[in-house]
Amino acid sequence: MRTFIFAAALLLAPHALGKKAIARLAPNEILRKADDARAPEGDFSFFVKIGDYDGAKLLRTHVYKVFSKGTAYALIETESPLRLKGRKILLRNEDLWLYLPSVKRPTRVSLQQRLTGEVANGDIARTRFHNDYDAKISGSEEIGGKPHHVLDLKAKSDNVTYRKVQLWVDQKTYQPHKALFYAISGKLLKTSLYSDFKKALGENRASKVVIQDALNPKRQSHLTYSKYQRENLDDSFFTKEALP
Amino acid sequence: MTVSSQRKHCLSALLFLLVASRSESVDLSYNASFSSRVGVHVNGRVGLAINRHTLEAQQTAKWLNSWSLVGGARVYADSAFAMNDRYNAPVRGIESQEFAPRDLYLQYKNRGLQLRIGNQQVVWGESFGFFFADIVNPKDTREGGLGGDLAAQRIMVPMVNFSWFQGNYALQFLYLPKPFLNLTPAQGSDFAVPLGPFFPGFNVTLSDERILPLALSSSEVGIRGTAILNGWDMGAFFFTYFDRRPSYRPTFAGADVSVRGVHDRISSWGLTATKDFDAWVSRLELIYTANRPVDSFVFNAGAPTQSFGTSTSDEFVGVLGFDYTQWRDWRLTLQVSQDSYLRSVPGSLLPQNSTNLSFVLGGTLFRNHELTVIQSYCVNDGSALSQLLYMMPLSSRLEATIGTYLFTGSPSSSFGTFRGANRVFLQLKGYFGAG
C-alpha cells in the first residue's frame, strides 16, 4: 500500500508541481509571457498587412513597416498603397505624431485615433500590454478544451488606447487567445482574436490578429505580421525632428 | 531663383546621385507623382481657370547609415492662361510653366546630430491651412495658397540646417546665406490684389523682388528649441530674416507709376505648443514680429502721389486649435486665429485686428472615398472661403479629386477680394516609386 501511495505521488507530482507553478505566476508575469507571444522585447522591426473587411467584402489593404524599441518608442511607415507611401507615425512614450509628405511636418495625433479600419494607432504602435496595464486574474475558462486565465487589465495612465482590457491567456502556453477592449465608460469597443502562432525571433508569436468592432462585428480588420527582424535602433531614430 | 541657377543645382545633384549610385553600399529609392488638374471659373468668368500638368520626382541615396543625398524637382505646364484672353502677358509669363528644384540637399545624421545643407524646407508651425509660424521658407502665393498641398506651396531654399536632439529636447540652428522671397501673383491674376485703385489715373506697372544679393548683411539666421514635458510638446523660436511678403514702394514718372515690391529685414519670436487631451488634441501658436512693414493708403487730393505709403507696426499673432479624436470615420479640427498690429497705421491696407475662424471636417465614405470640407470665416468683414474636396482612390497608385474653392464677401473684404477666382476642378494624380 505504501509503495502504491509513493508511486502515485511520484506520478502525480509533476502535475501538482505544474499546477502549483502556474498558480504561483503573478498576473503581471502571465501578462508578460502573453506579451512575448505577441511581440518580442528590445529593438526589432516587422511588417504588418492590414485588410479591412465589411462582412466578406475587402474594403482596403494597407501594409506598414514598424520599427519598435522597447515599449516606449515605435515608428510606423506606410509601405502601400503607393499613394500613401511616406506617411509615418511616431510614438514616443505616450505621445504620437503623424508625418504626412503633403504637409512635411509632424502633426500631433492621439493614440486612440484610427489608423485604418478597426485598428487604432496604439494597436500597432504599442506592441506590449505589460508596461501600460496592471493585470489581475478574474477567472478561468475553457476554450477549445484548453484552460485559459481570464486577466483583467487596468490602464496605469489615462493616455493609453483603452482604459480596460480583458485578456484570455492559455494556461499552458501563455499564448493569448482573445482580448476585449473597453472605453472609460465601460463600453465594449472591440475584440481581438490571436491565432497562427509561428516562430519569429526565437519564440512562437501570433502572426494573425483579427480585430472586430463590438457594435458591428461584420466590421473587421485582419492583421498579418511577418518579417520580424532584430534591429539596433538609436533613440534619435524616434524623434520628430528626424522624421522627414 | 533664376532658371540657370536652378539648372546648375539640378545638374550638380544628378552628378552627385550618379557618383553615389556607383557605390555598392548605397541604398537608392525614388518617388514621383504626375497630376493633371483642369478647372473652370464659376461666378460669371468664362474659360478655364486652370489646365495644369505637373510632374514631381525625388531621388534619395543613402550610404554608410549616416549620409544621404536627396534630389528632387518639379515641372509644370499650364495652358489655361494662354487660352484665355482675360489674362495679360505678365500673368501668362509667370503662370504658364515652371521648372523648380525641390528638396536638394546633403544630409549627415549620426545619433542625435543632423546636418542638412542645400535646398530644403523647414516647418515650425502647428496650425493648419495658414502659414502663421511657418515663416522660414518663402511661399508660392500665385494661387492664393490653394494650389495644392502645404508642402507644395513652400519654396525650397538653400540653407544650412543643424539639429541636435537628445531625449525629449531638441535644438535647431538655421543659416540662410541668401534671402528668397514669396512668389506673388502678377497683376491681372485671379489671386492678385489689384493695385490700380490706389493709384487713380496712373498706369501701374509692378515688379517684385524675388531674391536679395548674396552678402553677409543679407543672410538670415534662426534658432528653435523644442521640449516634450508632461505630454506638452513645446517649441520656442527666433528668426531674423527679410519679410517674405512684399510692401510696395511707388515711383512716379508722369502718368506712369512703377510699383516695386520690397522686403525689409524683420525679426520674429514665437512659441508653439501641442497637447493630447484624450478626446481633443490642442495646438497653440504665438508669434511676435517687431516693426513689420504695413502699406497704407490715405487719398491726398492735393498730392495724389503722396497717398500711398508704408509704415511699420509690431505684429502679434495668436492661434488656438483643437482636433476632436473620438469619431470613428470622421475628424474635426477647429481653429481660431487673431492677427493684431499693435500700433495703428492710418489707412492701413491690413486690418489692425483680424480674427479668423476655421474648421476642417473630413471623413471616409463608401469605397474609401474621402470628403473634406474646409471653411474659413473672417469675423471682421464677414467674408469666407469654402473648400470642398472629394477624393476617390482609383487604384493603389491613382486617385481622382473633385474640388471647389468659393470665396464670398464684399469685393474689398479679406476673402471676397478673390471672388473672381472661384472655381471647380477635377484632378487626376498618379504615384510611382521604388526602393
ipTM entry: 0.88
Q: Which of residues B196 and A228 earns the better pLDDT score?
A: A228
Give the pLDDT band (50/70/90) at residue B45: confident
Using only C-alpha atoms, chain A has a radius of gyration, in whole angstroms, of: 20
Alpha helices in chain A (DSSP H): 2-24, 27-36, 121-125
The number of angstroms, rounded, from the C-alpha of B314 to the middle of its chain's C-alpha atoms is: 22
Place of cell 474636396: B389
Give the pLDDT band (50/70/90) at residue B278: confident
**What are the grid coordinates assigned to B392, written together?**
476617390
pLDDT given for residue A162 in this prediction: 84
Q: Indicate if the pLDDT at residue B179 is higher than 60.
A: yes
Average pLDDT on B118-128 reads 92
pLDDT given for residue B1 in this prediction: 45
**Taking CA atoms, what residue in B is nearest to A121?**
B325
Q: Indicate if the pLDDT at residue B161 is higher than 70.
A: yes
Total number of residues shown for chain A:
244
Classify residue A6 by its DSSP letter. Answer: H
Q: Indicate if the pLDDT at residue B3 is higher than 50.
A: no
Which of chain B's residues have a Cβ under 8 Å away from the Cβ of A83? 393, 396-399, 429, 431
Say if residues B170 and B226 touch (Cβ distance below 8 Å): yes
Bridge-based pairing state of the strands B398-408 and A73-80: unpaired
How far off is chain A from B210, nearest CA to CA, in Å? 23
Q: Indicate if the pLDDT at residue A237 is higher than 50.
A: yes
Give the H or E element holding residue B93: helix B89-95
| Buried-state track B399-408, b at ≥16 Cβ within 10 A, e below 16 | bebebebbbb
Total number of residues shown for chain B:
435
Q: Indicate if the pLDDT at residue A154 is higher than 90.
A: yes
Q: Which residues pair with B261 in a beta bridge?
A: B208, B248
Say if residues A181 and A191 touch (Cβ distance below 8 Å): yes
Q: Indicate if the pLDDT at residue A21 is higher than 90.
A: no
pLDDT given for residue B128 in this prediction: 81
Residues 93-122, chain B, touching A (beta carbon < 8 A): 109, 111-112, 114, 121
pLDDT given for residue A16 in this prediction: 43
pLDDT given for residue B24 in this prediction: 58
Quote the mean pLDDT of chain A: 86
**What are the grid coordinates assigned to B331, written together?**
475628424
Say if residues B190 and B91 touch (Cβ distance below 8 Å): no
Q: Which residues pair with B280 in a beta bridge?
A: B324
Which of chain B's residues have a Cβ under 8 Å away from the Cβ of A86? 31
Average pLDDT on B43-57 reads 89
Q: What is residue B143's three-state secondary structure?
A: coil
pLDDT given for residue B159 in this prediction: 97
Of the residues B116, B230, B275, B276, the best mutation for testing chain A's interface (the one with the most A CB atoms within 10 Å of its CB) is B276
Give residue A25's identity as a one-letter amino acid code.
Answer: L
pTM exceeding 0.90: no
Q: Does B29 touch chain A (CB under 8 A)?
A: no
Give the pLDDT band (50/70/90) at residue B102: very high
Q: Which of residues B128 and A188 earns the better pLDDT score?
A: A188
CA angle B12, B14, B19 (to 5 degrees): 95
Q: Indicate if the pLDDT at residue B64 is higher than 90.
A: no
CB pairs < 8 Å spanning A and B: 101
Contact B123/A103, CB-based, under 8 Å? yes
**What are the grid coordinates assigned to B365, written together?**
465614405
